[in-house]
Amino acid sequence: MEVINNCNCYIEKLLKKSFAVHNFVEKQHIIDTGRPTPIMDITVKNKSCTRHFTDKLYKTNNWVAGCKCLNKYFCWLCLLFSVEQNVWCKDGFSDRHCKKSQNHMKSVLALSKFEKLQELKTCLIINIEKILLSTILW
Q: What is the pLDDT of residues 65-104, one digit of tens each?
A: 888 888 888 888 888 887 776 545 555 554 455 455 666 6
Beta bridge partners of 90: none
* Segment 108-112 long-range contacts (CB within 8 Å, at least 24 positions apart): 108/63, 108/77, 110/77, 110/80, 110/81, 111/31, 111/77, 111/80, 111/81
Q: In which band, very low, low, confident or very high, does the pLDDT at 26 lie, cut at 50, 70 and 90?
A: very high
With 0-12 / 13-18 / 19 or more C-beta atoms within 10 angstroms meaning exposed / middle / buried, residue 88 is buried
pLDDT at 3 over 70: no
pLDDT at 120 over 70: yes
